[in-house]
Structure 1
């Protein structure tokens, strides 16, 4: 047993972070008939210690909203987030909030706007250390630690990198600085919101390897948000597939990709380019309308595009159910493993 800065007791058996019935709606429209956009609806998941969990889905599915809920940028409309067994809604004091944000920092998608161009690279890292690392009491200690975390993300010599301005760094180097700023907190979980999507394909693998290395060397867990199934397969232990505000399938990465249970997962896999296949192979089933998330009616939100939809899909919202070993899907017609 151990206790963190916010007074949260850690247990090896409990998940590091858990979301229960997590929901976030946004009001849209004006006048006397306001409408609600259901960005995230009654989502349940957990993230264990030293685990990389990928959250995949197309644009607008609610992935980034989940990241911002976990980071505390948005407050849930309903539901709760538990961090090391304690409800996040109870983190009311500044001390508790700083402790949580130090433990669960976020790395943003855009490496070109996530760093302030008016300051040298060292500014953000040293500021993070001053806010979240009360054990470092002097400037010299903070500077030494800043050099350590910058070298830990593969940038050296650290002293030279710290003196540069963001415009003097490449996109991949800037994203590594984003990871260094997060690592400066001594985090337990890093929320990585599509951290490689704006980078050249040739340098994406280096950032994915960095995540795996930080998990091994620093004991950090990751929620890796992506629309790229291939990168999720490369780096993640577990995969969650999200569609129109719902998690529609979840399980060990290889199990989900080798034996998909939900038609939307099949669609995502069919959209991955295969040089051996004819052009547009695997996309024949992608017909119908985009998801309806403004005041949606009951029923499966994928039913408009699903070739397997039955009458029940139009009236009853499917819930996640176990269909294999640690493998769940929210589909009325999916068959369990024999």
Structure 2
């Protein structure tokens, strides 16, 4: 690994405008997020629905433009990318695999169409036969065999797990450095999920790619990730090595997630205790901790000062006034 992170965000923020005229407001989907992803690293981003995970991924994929802050790729700010060639190169290096394996594939075309089209766009140095050979290689790399037969099928002829593997094959065809996997197994049966998680770990080992794995499932995060990021109300509230965070959670929200899953190998379900409390206020929020209404440790400072992510142990940080 080099000293320069593969990807790093500094104060990354995304607000969405709501309403018109005097009723105009802003939804704070992602606020002041600092995250680092290194070469050949799998980082899991965990949180409940609405915590800002997918918005964060779309900022990295440049689907949304940041309201504030910056994304650095290999030390270079993305705001300095100029021209179609540089932007296309970044999209090839940092592709996204979406949650719904069916809607992300064109039902009118065979599986080969999307992979070959991506190869033609992102790897123009390949001629027709070379593109075909590469399409078969990446299809086999994600566990779809025989590749030549799979490439000739239509999406409706594949299972959900197979379609999601095709999504990874499309991303792999670009020779990516970082794959943004936005809840890629959440719509699949539990029995199929382990196979997709193994695909991610195998791609890291054989292809040298990093993965940002976005999920609400602590079990899956523990299985594949090197580091864990916990997100709540648009903020990253805890980060650190996965096993250390799970064994010694410092933020009350992380502890809530773990208390709802006594066995981290079980799927995440925050349960009735969490459901009885209000979600965080994200529309023009006041300063302070956004978890304070649900927090058993809240003090006066929590309603007045937004806590910053602070290192409490080597490589282990939490954003909490009461963390120690």
RMSD after superposition: 1.6
Deviation readout 1:165-212 (Å, 9 max, x if unpaired)? 000000000000000000000000000000000000001000001100
Deviation readout 1:74-112 (Å, 9 max, x if unpaired)? 000010000001100111300001100000000000001
2:12 to 3, 7, 22: 22
Match in the other structure for 1:5: none
- Secondary structure of the 2:22 match is coil
Match in the other structure for 1:144: 133
Is contact 1:286–1:305 with CA below 8 Å preserved after alignment? no
2:246 is the counterpart of 1:257: yes
Q: Normalized per residue, which structure has more helix?
A: 2
**Structure 2: how far apart are the matches of 1:273 and 1:166?**
38
1:193 to 179, 182, 187: 182
Is contact 2:136–2:147 with CA below 8 Å preserved after alignment? yes
- Secondary structure of the 2:87 match is helix
- TM-score w.r.t. structure 1 length? 0.92
2:163 is the counterpart of 1:174: yes
1:226 to 204, 209, 215: 215
**Structure 1: how far apart are the matches of 2:125 and 2:11?**
36
2:288 is the counterpart of 1:299: yes
Please identify runs of 4+ aligned residues in structure 1 that moved more than 6 A.
Answer: 280-283
Deviation at 1:325, TM superposition (A): 1.9
- Secondary structure of the 2:69 match is strand
Deviation at 1:135, TM superposition (A): 2.5
Deviation readout 1:138-157 (Å, 9 max, x if unpaired)? 11110010000000000111
Q: Give 5+ residue unaligned stretches, structure 1.
A: 1-10
**Structure 2: how far apart are the matches of 1:115 and 1:44?**
32
**Structure 2: how far apart are the matches of 1:272 and 1:76?**
34
Is contact 1:287–1:305 with CA below 8 Å preserved after alignment? no
Deviation at 1:270, TM superposition (A): 1.5
- Secondary structure of the 2:294 match is coil
Is contact 1:133–1:185 with CA below 8 Å preserved after alignment? yes
**Structure 1: how far apart are the matches of 2:148 and 2:276?**
54
**Structure 1: how far apart are the matches of 2:192 and 2:262?**
19
Match in the other structure for 1:6: none
1:319 to 304, 308, 313: 308
2:100 is the counterpart of 1:104: no
Is contact 2:32–2:235 with CA below 8 Å preserved after alignment? yes
**Structure 2: how far apart are the matches of 1:308 and 1:288?**
15
Is contact 2:256–2:270 with CA below 8 Å preserved after alignment? no
Deviation readout 1:196-230 (Å, 9 max, x if unpaired)? 00000001000001100000000000000000011
Match in the other structure for 1:244: 233
Match in the other structure for 1:52: 42
Match in the other structure for 1:272: 261
- TM-score w.r.t. structure 2 length? 0.96
Is contact 1:285–1:306 with CA below 8 Å preserved after alignment? no
**Structure 2: how far apart are the matches of 1:112 and 1:52?**
25
Match in the other structure for 2:147: 158
Is contact 2:257–2:270 with CA below 8 Å preserved after alignment? no
